[in-house]
Amino acid sequence: MSQPNPTNTQVDPSNPFYLHPSDHPGMILVSKKFDGIGFGTWKRAMLIALSAKNKLGFIDGTITSATNPSLWNRCNDMVISWIINTLSRDITESVLYVQSAAQLWTELNDRYGQGNGANMYQLQKSLCEISQGSSSIATYFTKIKGIWDELGSLSTISPCSCGTYAEIVKKDEEQRLIQFLMGLNPSYDNVRGKILMMQPLPAISKAYSLLTQDEKQREIHPTVQSFPDVTLMNVQAKPQENFKKPVCTHCKKSGYTVNKCYRLIGFPKDFKFTKPRHAANASVNDGVDQFNNLSVHAMSSATSLTADQCQQLIQFLQNTQLNIGSSQSSNDASGETNDLKYAKEMCLLLKKNPNFIHAKTYII
């Protein structure tokens, strides 16, 4: 029956060779497997996990097999298994036959960790293009902070005691704050302006806290869009709807009544006609005035016109018919004006019966 190795049972828990009873080759130290993209993030997560296991000496080469070959081989294989468990299948097959954890770590760094220039370019481009969009403040901040952290891992500055390092960190913090505020939606313009007015500029964590508080207030008191009172608009519109312009019963035009119709009372001397048809109508009215002067005695005495007056009236109406007809054909070839129709009817009646006009007849 084999006896347990006394050397293994006496290893101190603080010793790098110590393995906890729960440690086994199938453990997965990092939740997301590395598939060739995001090496900096995966590397940082592995360093944290191996540091917690007190096994960093196996990947940086400070612990060698010369210290204790049997314990070293055991711990070395355990670290190799933990690293391989976090790699994709294709990458695992390419490093499966590596002999030591330090050699595996170096090969992964040489293969995926040398393109710092390209990585920095891609990260800076993503940082310039990122914006909040439809995301919440928390989601937006998580995205931009991940880019900041990955950029920081590519270019590290060693601390110093002269104060320069603290000044660089402060400037970098202010630059990150401005980048964070630039990507916010326009709806946060008010709180963004208040943050930028602070002297000195607050830390990113303080700005994040103010923005999340404002976001919560928006959820509690959503903005209500105001609309004009429809009832008030209807009340204001009613007077306009009920108002009707007067209509002349003679010429059927709106704006005046029959007692103010120029076609009955005559056009003023200084009246300006805007259309040729109006000019023709004006000549008709002038002729009507002449006819009124001619037949005023006959109409007032309720007697028939003389033969000469009837002949003059017929000649006048015929001339009026010709003038109106020529004006109407130039404006509207498809219809006749009321004056033209009336003139035609008067000509026919007077030709048949010269005594047709009496005191109750009005010339329009």
pLDDT confidence of residue 291 = 45
Same domain for 136 and 65: no
pLDDT confidence of residue 65 = 86
Q: Is the pLDDT of residue 1 over 50?
A: no
Neighbours of 270 (CB within 10 A): 5
Are 87 and 96 a contacting pair, CB within 8 Å? Answer: no
Same domain for 253 and 215: no
For residues 303 and 357, give the distance between their C-alpha atoms in angstroms, rounded to a whole number: 9
Are 102 and 59 a contacting pair, CB within 8 Å? Answer: yes
> What confidence category does residue 213 fall into, taking pLDDT thresholds of 50, 70 and 90?
very high
Asked if the structure places residue 360 within a domain, the reply is no
Asked if the structure places residue 170 within a domain, the reply is yes
Mean confidence (pLDDT) of the chain? 75
pLDDT confidence of residue 343 = 58
Owning domain of residue 148: 116-220
> What confidence category does residue 293 fall into, taking pLDDT thresholds of 50, 70 and 90?
very low
- Residue with token string 């306009």: 240
> What confidence category does residue 3 fall into, taking pLDDT thresholds of 50, 70 and 90?
very low
Q: What are phi and psi of 247, to 5 degrees?
A: -125, 130
pLDDT confidence of residue 48 = 93
Same domain for 288 and 248: no
Asked if the structure places residue 132 within a domain, the reply is yes
Query: Which tokens sit at 298?
Result: 């006959």
pLDDT confidence of residue 265 = 76
Give the residue with greater pLDDT, 211 vs 306. 211
Asked if the structure places residue 80 within a domain, the reply is yes
Q: What is the mean pLDDT of the segment spanning 337-360?
A: 56
pLDDT confidence of residue 275 = 56
Task: Compute and round to an integer the Cα radius of gyration of the chain.
Answer: 52
Give the residue with greater pLDDT, 101 vs 353. 101
> What confidence category does residue 259 fall into, taking pLDDT thresholds of 50, 70 and 90?
confident
Collapse the DSSP code of 245 into the 3-class scheme (helix H, G, I; strand E, B; otherwise coil) and give the result.
Answer: coil
Query: Which tokens sit at 352?
Result: 């048949």
Asked if the structure places residue 297 within a domain, the reply is yes
**Residue at a domain's end among 112, 134, 155:** 112
Percent of the chain exceeding pLDDT 90 equals: 32
* Full-model pTM: 0.48
pLDDT confidence of residue 279 = 45
For residues 39 and 45, give the distance between their C-alpha atoms in angstroms, rounded to a whole number: 10
Core vs surface per residue 243-255: b (16+ CB within 10 A) or e: eeeeebeebeeee
Q: What is the mean pLDDT of the segment spanning 227-243?
A: 50
Same domain for 85 and 24: yes
For residues 187 and 216, give the distance between their C-alpha atoms in angstroms, rounded to a whole number: 13
For 221, half-sphere exposure in the C-beta direction (CA atoms, 13 angstrom radius) is: 3
Q: What is the mean pLDDT of the segment spanning 77-83?
A: 95
Collapse the DSSP code of 24 into the 3-class scheme (helix H, G, I; strand E, B; otherwise coil) and give the result.
Answer: coil
Same domain for 91 and 28: yes
Q: Is the pLDDT of residue 277 over 70?
A: no
pLDDT confidence of residue 211 = 93
Asked if the structure places residue 357 within a domain, the reply is no
How many domains, in total, are found in the chain?
4
Long-range contacts of 245-251 (CB under 8 A, 24+ apart): 250/364, 251/338
For residues 321 and 256, give the distance between their C-alpha atoms in angstroms, rounded to a whole number: 27
Are 285 and 267 a contacting pair, CB within 8 Å? Answer: yes
DSSP structure class, residue 96: T
- Residue with token string 């207030």: 217
Asked if the structure places residue 134 within a domain, the reply is yes
Region for 306 from its dihedrals, namely left if φ exceeds 0, alpha if ψ lies in -120 to 50, beta otherwise: beta
**Residue at a domain's end among 183, 199, 220:** 220
pLDDT confidence of residue 333 = 43
Q: What is the mean pLDDT of the segment spanning 52-69?
A: 90
Please, what is the angle between helix 101-112 and helix 69-85, to 10°?
30
Residue 200, preceding peptide bond in cis (omega within 30° of 0): yes
pLDDT confidence of residue 158 = 73
Same domain for 124 and 210: yes
Q: Is the pLDDT of residue 204 over 90?
A: yes
Write the pLDDT tens digit of every residue in 147-179.
898 888 777 777 777 778 888 888 999 999 999
Query: Which tokens sit at 250?
Result: 């003679």
Query: Which tokens sit at 124?
Result: 């800076």
H-assigned helices in the chain: 6-9, 39-52, 57-60, 69-85, 89-95, 101-112, 116-129, 137-154, 164-182, 189-196, 204-220, 230-242, 262-265, 276-300, 307-331, 338-352
Same domain for 141 and 49: no
Quickly list DSSP for 43-71. Answer: HHHHHHHHHHTT-THHHHT-S-TTT-HHH
- Cα 68 to Cα 7, 8, 21, 63, 104: the distances in Å are 10, 11, 20, 9, 20
DSSP structure class, residue 258: G
- Cα 172 to Cα 5, 177, 279: the distances in Å are 54, 9, 86
pLDDT confidence of residue 351 = 57
